Amino acid sequence: MRQIEIFDTTLRDGEQSAGVTLTVAEKVEIAHQLAKLGVNVIEAGFPLASPTDFQGVFQVAQQVRGVTVAGLARARAKDIEAAWEALRPAEQPRIHTFIGTSPVHMRYKLKATPAEILERAVQAVRLAKSKVSDVEFSAEDSSRSDPDFLAEVFAAVIKAGATVITISDVVGYITPDEFSALVRGVREKTAGIEKVKVSVHCHDDLGLAVANTMAGLTAGADQLECTVNGIGDRAGNAALEELAMILHTRRDLYPLTTSIVTTEIMRTSRLVSRLTGMPVQYHKAIVGRNAFAHEAGVHQDGILKEPSTYQIMTPSDVGWEEDHSSLVLGRHSGRHAVRRHLGQWGITLDEASFETLFARFKQYADGKQNISKEDMLSLLRAEEESQG
């Protein structure tokens, strides 16, 4: 089975989320947890961006073992020198350098011709290669770049010493079919591509980051770039937990393996949410509060009879500490769920009493979102009092 590498950029791209600032100690804490989670590469930051960024990368490189630590650098000598200094203590250092290759980036942001971009990319990779053996080159805005130019740039940086090349959709513009075709085209047209790993990096502006990443995977990508909880610039990145559980749950469709320890997913998600101050939306796939919650009576009945009727994975698969497969008591709940909760609370009722309580419950639930144990006990007391 083909091994797929997971490149986590929570500490770099994820920290670029509006309003998020992590201290050096917080970066190190998250990095240790990412190592426990089993990611292959931790992109710890952008060393030239600030003294704190530099120290964050340096401390992660110094303290976290058993994983590749990457530092981001523009295709500029000062960026690459800073990245190398920050990565010096790393057991497995990687310099990740990038430059825009789309017409809009070259014309408006970089104010450079394609020939100049090609030369800058090659020079950057050569300099990075003189510092470390592992060099990743990303063509920023690949999804809006000319495919032939992409292949030309990638061939040149591979020749210059790149070990990973990244096809990126940094503005979340492309669709899965288009991205699959782009990755396949790059693989077919790029000289020397068999010598390197192909990585994909997708953003979620149109809600397609995970779908595009999976499209890139099926087109031959070896490395998936992502963040915990999908955080990142604007609408965020492909969510690590979603990618990991797609591959875990649909092994019939994807005969691939990763080193991710899925039972560490919830612990990692909660840590990142707490330290970044970014709450996870309730209905977020895999790690949201409602990801394993059921209120509809039909669903609750099915879950009680056989969990797989409405669950394609179990809460324990992703590391919920408790039995989080919850049957929520609400206006849509049926008799089976109410009976189960009463039984868990040690309450036994005859059929007539139960039917009376259930009628009260339905009436009460119509005006309340979720019904707690205290609510049910209160309804039960009211019923007993009404009986004299």
pLDDT per position as a tens digit, 63-83: 999 999 999 999 999 999 999
**257-270 per-residue burial string, b: 16 or more CB within 10 A, e: under 16:** ebebebebbbbbbb
CATH 3.20.20.70 fits 2-276, yes or no: yes
Q: Is the pLDDT of residue 349 over 70?
A: yes
Tokens (6 digits) for 264: 């560490």
Q: Is the pLDDT of residue 116 over 90?
A: yes
pTM of the full structure: 0.87
Compute φ and ψ for 97, nearest 5 degrees: -110, 155
Instruction: Select from 210, 200, 96 the least CA-distant residue to 157.
Output: 96
Contact 132, 162 (CB under 8 A): no
Mutual orientation of helices 351-365 and 335-344 as an angle, nearest 10°? 110
Tokens (6 digits) for 230: 């999908």
Query: What is the reported pLDDT for 34?
Result: 98
Domain boundaries, the chain: 2-276, 297-386
Instruction: Select from 209, 214, 248, 212 the least CA-distant residue to 229.
Output: 209
Q: What is the pLDDT of residues 50-66, one digit of tens each?
A: 999 999 999 999 999 99
The span from the CA of 273 to the CA of 204, in Å, is 18
Q: What is the pLDDT of residues 227-270, one digit of tens each?
A: 999 999 999 999 999 999 999 999 999 999 999 999 999 999 99
Q: Is the pLDDT of residue 29 over 90?
A: yes
Q: What is the pLDDT of residues 189-235, one digit of tens each?
A: 999 999 999 999 999 999 999 999 999 999 999 999 999 999 999 99
Strands (E), the chain: 2-3, 5-8, 41-45, 68-74, 93-100, 135-140, 164-169, 197-202, 223-226, 256-257
Query: What is the reported pLDDT for 87?
Result: 98
Among 93-97, 219-223, 280-284, the least confident range: 280-284
The span from the CA of 112 to the CA of 219, in Å, is 31
Tokens (6 digits) for 225: 């770039």
Percent of the chain with pLDDT over 70: 91
Confidence of residue 324 (pLDDT cuts 50, 70, 90): very low
Query: What is the reported pLDDT for 316?
Result: 87
Neighbours of 345 (CB within 10 A): 11
Higher pLDDT, 367 or 102: 102
Instruction: Select from 138, 208, 148, 136 the least CA-distant residue to 179.
Output: 208
Contact 326, 291 (CB under 8 A): no
For all residues of the chain together, what is the average pLDDT?
91
Q: Is the pLDDT of residue 296 over 70?
A: no
Amino acid at 99: I
Q: Is the pLDDT of residue 6 over 50?
A: yes
Q: Is the pLDDT of residue 295 over 90?
A: no
Query: What is the reported pLDDT for 23?
Result: 97
The span from the CA of 42 to the CA of 57, in Å, is 10
Query: What is the reported pLDDT for 302?
Result: 66
Tokens (6 digits) for 319: 């590391």
Instruction: Provide the CA 134 distance to its chain's centre, in angstroms.
Output: 23
Tokens (6 digits) for 130: 């003189």
Contact 247, 221 (CB under 8 A): no
Q: What is the pLDDT of residues 127-167, one digit of tens each?
A: 999 999 999 999 999 999 999 999 999 999 999 999 999 99
Compute φ and ψ for 22, nearest 5 degrees: -100, 140
